[in-house]
Amino acid sequence: MSPPADPATRNGSEGFSYSRQVKFYETDLAGVVHFSNYFRYMEEAEHALWQAAGLTVDRAGAELGYPRVSATFDYKRPLFFEDAFVILVRVHAQSKKTIQYTFTFTRGDTIIGAGSLTIASATRDFQSMRAVDVPPDVIPRLKAAAGQHDDA
Amino acid sequence: MSPPADPATRNGSEGFSYSRQVKFYETDLAGVVHFSNYFRYMEEAEHALWQAAGLTVDRAGAELGYPRVSATFDYKRPLFFEDAFVILVRVHAQSKKTIQYTFTFTRGDTIIGAGSLTIASATRDFQSMRAVDVPPDVIPRLKAAAGQHDDA
Amino acid sequence: MSPPADPATRNGSEGFSYSRQVKFYETDLAGVVHFSNYFRYMEEAEHALWQAAGLTVDRAGAELGYPRVSATFDYKRPLFFEDAFVILVRVHAQSKKTIQYTFTFTRGDTIIGAGSLTIASATRDFQSMRAVDVPPDVIPRLKAAAGQHDDA
Amino acid sequence: MSPPADPATRNGSEGFSYSRQVKFYETDLAGVVHFSNYFRYMEEAEHALWQAAGLTVDRAGAELGYPRVSATFDYKRPLFFEDAFVILVRVHAQSKKTIQYTFTFTRGDTIIGAGSLTIASATRDFQSMRAVDVPPDVIPRLKAAAGQHDDA
């Protein structure tokens, strides 16, 4: 596990590591991170991976966007204010038109939880969200940035 | 389907209807509601159901809290600024220590998506999140408020 | 003051009343509404007033947007989960290119705080945010919807 | 101005620099950061300063909290997705019971805006939010961490 000091580092073996610290406004009255924020954390890790791959999900004039098709998270242990934690991202080519990511959250040796995002490649006409093929270089570049040499 | 005019109404047959309008700050640069906010909408609908049942997930001095165990959402169509939509909630007794809800989102005749939340009944010591039995009256009262007479 | 039961009602004398209930995800670890959410509440009240006036700050193909120029809030008493509160909005024509609103928040007889938003009328090219004159009908319509017959 | 590469660095002369990149979920349908998020950014910078001073606004069993008394922001230029920007924080001892911070936001040579937060030192009984004196070491330690040697 890479140390939390580094905001976004490539893991030695497999998967992209993104480090984060819990902000005050992400907690709720139960004293822990609100469950909805884990979805924001997953997206942050996704976009950090895109940046590491020299890509972005948003570029002025881009014809494509990447709406979410599904999102899941399983919560094991809570996160508290100022906790430093690490998200390990892995990329899966689910179909020609979608990308699936899986995420595991850890704080030191403690497993916080795990989740997934499935996104579609779609034309920017969001009224219809017409799915199109993911551009051919995207998944290889993301996998390379994540240090994934297999085809999992 | 009940009309959006009424903020939280009991559906005639089955399930609890919660109506909502999209706020500006819930949209993102793609011009649609950010996917993380659907989890907040589900929680809002859950708590409106608890209120309709004369219950609350938070009461000063309460020994129990209801942390989330898992959350999922499948996105079909986007929601836009000022859209009025309806969430239909159904309650499922998954186990002695957990409650599962399912949610369907519609805007008029358009299906927006569907999701689920599984929550645990836990002692308020969130460091351990020790699960305990859901108090016996909670699920019957939630089902009654949701107009669910079956045992689905 | 109108009762909290009604989501958005015109106050008899002066100012537009918007009623709201605190959501769980708006609280923080201190057990109260996070201070940043008061700015979202003010915007909600602003947009409810625009809707009451038959207007919207966003319309597909609109040439104008309404970026914020300044925002302030003074906090007197905290808001808690499930609190019902009322925001009274008043409109002020500050200049040809800007609109100022003032907001007072109350929960029953308790004053929660007061704030202000100043917005500009601007062309939709946000890179430059070039201010333009507010369309002439906007402020009269907002004031009428707010029941403001004076020129305060 | 320190470069954005470093997440939180002490500025050589005066003020504490906190660097940040805009997240996707912080944007709104206008394509820019929602105005409410600037208040979250200011709080993030505040807490990073506390951490740099070896302090925290929240500690289990702490008798004191730091509710906000007032908050302001003046917006000059918008922030866009993935923009890197820097917040310069300065600490001002406003009274025995309050601390005031001022913040300036810049993206490269562009001034984004400026704001302020006034916080009170208060007993943890938030129902009353009874203000008490700020502990005597807090402001000197914050100013030292911010490199402020004057008494501005």
B/C interface, count of CB pairs below 8 Å: 33
D121: closest CA of chain A, how far (Å): 17
Q: Is the model more confident about A149 or about A87?
A: A87
Compute how many other C-beta atoms are within 10 angstroms of the C-beta atom of residue A8: 18
Range with the lowest mean pLDDT among A72-76, A114-118, B51-55, C132-136?
A: C132-136
Residue C58's pLDDT is what? 76
Residue whose entry in the numeric block shows the structure tokens 């922001």: D73
Confidence of residue C127 (pLDDT cuts 50, 70, 90): low
A149: closest CA of chain D, how far (Å): 28
Residues in chain D within 8 Å Cβ distance of B36: 25
Taking only the tens place, the pLDDT of each residue in B15-69 is 999 999 999 999 999 889 999 999 999 999 999 999 999 998 876 556 778 899 9
**Mean pLDDT, chain A, whole residue set:** 86
Confidence of residue A63 (pLDDT cuts 50, 70, 90): confident
Rg of chain C, C-alpha, whole Å: 16
**In this complex, which of B25, B51, B57 lies closest to C43 when CB atoms are compared?**
B25
ipTM of the complex: 0.88
Residues in chain B within 8 Å Cβ distance of D81: 29
Residues in chain B within 8 Å Cβ distance of A39: 35-36, 39
Compute how many other C-beta atoms are within 10 angstroms of the C-beta atom of residue D109: 6
Residues in chain B within 8 Å Cβ distance of A43: 35-36
Residue D63's pLDDT is what? 72
Give mean pLDDT, residues C128-141: 85
User: C23 and B7 in contact by Cβ < 8 A?
Assistant: no
Taking only the tens place, the pLDDT of each residue in D24-67 is 999 999 889 999 999 999 999 999 999 999 998 876 556 778 89
Percentage of chain C beyond pLDDT 70 is 83
User: B25 and D36 in contact by Cβ < 8 A?
Assistant: yes
Residue A102's pLDDT is what? 97
What the block records as the tokens of A63 is 């014809």
Taking only the tens place, the pLDDT of each residue in B85-131 is 999 999 997 789 999 999 999 999 999 999 999 999 988 765 666 78
**In this complex, which of A24, A47, A51 lies closest to D47 when CB atoms are compared?**
A24
**Mean pLDDT, chain D, whole residue set:** 86
What's the 3-state SS for chain D?
CCCCCCCEEECCCCCEEEEEECCHHHECCCCCECCCHHHHHHHHHHHHHHHHCCCCCCCCCCCEECCEEEEEEEECCCCCCCCEEEEEEEEECCCCCEEEEEEEEEECCEEEEEEEEEEECEECCCCCCCECCCCCCHHHHHHHHCCCCCCC
Give mean pLDDT, residues D106-118: 97
Residues of C in CB contact (< 8 Å) with D are: 29-32, 35-37, 39-40, 43, 58, 65, 67-75, 77-78, 126-127, 129
Closest residue in A to C82 (Cα) is: A29
Confidence of residue D128 (pLDDT cuts 50, 70, 90): low
pLDDT at B2 over 80: no
User: A29 and C28 in contact by Cβ < 8 A?
Assistant: yes
CA–CA distance, D116 with B36 (Å, rounded to integer):
29
- Using CB atoms, which chains have 3+ pairs under 8 A with D? A, B, C
Give mean pLDDT, residues D122-147: 84
Contacts of D50 (CB under 8 A, 6+ apart): D56, D57, D142
User: D25 and B28 in contact by Cβ < 8 A?
Assistant: yes
Residues in chain D within 8 Å Cβ distance of C68: 35, 75
CA–CA distance, D93 with D140 (Å, rounded to integer):
9
Sequence-distant contacts of C97-103: CB under 8 A, at least 24 apart = C97/C121, C97/C131, C97/C132, C97/C133, C97/C134, C98/C69, C98/C131, C98/C134, C99/C66, C99/C134, C99/C138, C99/C139, C99/C142, C101/C42, C101/C46, C103/C42, C103/C45
What the block records as the tokens of D133 is 């004196």
Residue whose entry in the numeric block shows the structure tokens 């949701």: B146
Conformation bin of residue B108: beta by default, left when phi > 0, alpha when psi is -120 to 50: left
Residue C81's pLDDT is what? 94
pLDDT at A129 over 80: no
Closest residue in D to B32 (Cα) is: D29
Interface test with C, best of B81, B87, B127 (most C CBs within 10 A): B81
Taking only the tens place, the pLDDT of each residue in A21-53 is 999 999 999 889 999 999 999 999 999 999 999
pLDDT at D12 over 90: no
Residue B116's pLDDT is what? 98
Residues in chain C within 8 Å Cβ distance of B82: 47, 51, 56, 58
In chain C, the DSSP E strands lie at 8-10, 16-21, 64-65, 68-75, 84-95, 98-107, 110-120, 122-123
Beta-sheet pairing, B64-65 with B98-107: unpaired
Confidence of residue A4 (pLDDT cuts 50, 70, 90): very low
Residue C49's pLDDT is what? 97
C90: closest CA of chain A, how far (Å): 29
Residue whose entry in the numeric block shows the structure tokens 């950010």: B34
Q: How far is CA D38 from the centre of its chain?
A: 10
CA–CA distance, A6 with C25 (Å, rounded to integer):
29
| Residue of B37, C35, C113 lying closest to D68 (CA atoms) | C35
User: A25 and C36 in contact by Cβ < 8 A?
Assistant: yes
Confidence of residue B12 (pLDDT cuts 50, 70, 90): very low
Residue A127's pLDDT is what? 59
Residues in chain A within 8 Å Cβ distance of C126: none
**Mean pLDDT, chain B, whole residue set:** 86
